[in-house]
């Protein structure tokens, strides 16, 4: 499906270095709270492969080993940022991020307004670029990084919560997972209680049999169990 940007939104001009492929450019502020076109029409539009979206593919080979100071260059903006391994930050971040002043969704990354890091499972994307809205230069398609899919998705796929960190599909999957875990915990709370009542019934049955008066209690349904508490 061919993509046509809503309301004539065209990619802004940005200055890039000679090593940049300039595949995508950040959306200029003010950034709307959600996709402004037909969401149902564009939410499943095919997005180019990740390798064909990043602006600095030359930095992708840094994923295996960071620089001696613990930093890597973001594959989208090219900025040098501290990387993390197992949730621990390596290296110091002394440089202000070039997108910090323009990114309206920077608070969602958990970073301060001027600095970013590159999480180990972010495919080389820094925490300011992964919350930004990007425009694919050749098609004008608006895309955003989904932390659930760990890939770029059409911005329309984020639905009414356009600045969320996960697309609608991943948010629904997360809700289903939470509901299942909650139900499992509730069942775990009920099960030990049922076991205690069953064990009590077993003791009552044993006493009835020992007194040879079980026939007097034929109308009572007693649940025996081998599970004692």
* Distance from the Cα of residue 224 to its chain's centroid: 48
pTM of the model: 0.66
- Six-digit token pair at 69? 């100071």
How much is the pLDDT for 91? 52
The tens place of each residue's pLDDT in the chain, 229 residues long, gives 555 555 444 434 334 455 678 899 999 999 999 999 999 999 999 999 999 999 999 888 755 567 888 899 999 999 999 988 655 555 555 555 555 555 555 444 344 446 899 998 899 999 999 999 999 999 999 999 999 999 999 999 999 999 999 999 999 999 999 999 999 998 888 865 555 544 444 444 444 444 444 444 444 444 554 554 4
pLDDT for 208: 43
Which pLDDT score, from 0 to 100, does residue 96 have? 52
DSSP state of 182: H
CA atoms within 13 A on the CB side of 85: 9
Instruction: Return the pLDDT at 125.
Output: 94
Name the phi and psi angles at 140, rounded to 5. Answer: 65, 15
Residue 26, SS3 per DSSP = strand
Residue 192: what pLDDT?
58
DSSP state of 118: B
pLDDT at 26: 96
DSSP track, 120-175: TTTTT--TTGGGSEEEETTT--EEEEETTTTEEEEGGGGTT-TTSSS-HHHHHHHH
Strand partners, 26: 134
Q: What is the pLDDT of residue 108?
A: 40
């Amino acid at each position: 499906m061919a993509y046509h940007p809503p309301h004539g939104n065209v990619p802004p001009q940005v200055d890039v270095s000679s090593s940049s492929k300039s595949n995508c450019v950040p959306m200029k502020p003010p950034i709307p709270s959600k996709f402004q076109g037909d969401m149902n029409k564009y939410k499943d539009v095919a997005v180019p492969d990740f390798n064909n979206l990043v602006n600095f593919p030359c930095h992708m080979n840094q994923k295996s080993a960071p620089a001696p100071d613990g930093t890597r260059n973001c594959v989208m903006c090219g900025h040098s940022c501290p990387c993390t391994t197992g949730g621990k930050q390596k290296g110091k971040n002394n440089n202000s991020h070039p997108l910090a002043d323009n990114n309206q969704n920077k608070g969602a990354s958990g970073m301060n307004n001027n600095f970013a890091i590159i999480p180990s499972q972010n495919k080389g994307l820094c925490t300011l670029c992964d919350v930004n809205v990007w425009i694919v230069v050749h098609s004008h398609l608006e895309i955003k990084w989904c932390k659930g899919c760990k890939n770029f998705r059409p911005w329309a796929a984020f639905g009414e919560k356009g600045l969320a960190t996960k697309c609608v599909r991943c948010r629904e999957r997360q809700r289903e997972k939470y509901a299942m875990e909650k139900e499992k915990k509730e069942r775990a709370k009920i099960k030990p209680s049922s076991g205690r009542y069953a064990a009590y019934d077993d003791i009552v049955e044993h006493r009835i049999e020992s007194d040879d008066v079980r026939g007097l209690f034929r109308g009572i349904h007693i649940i025996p169990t081998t599970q004692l508490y």
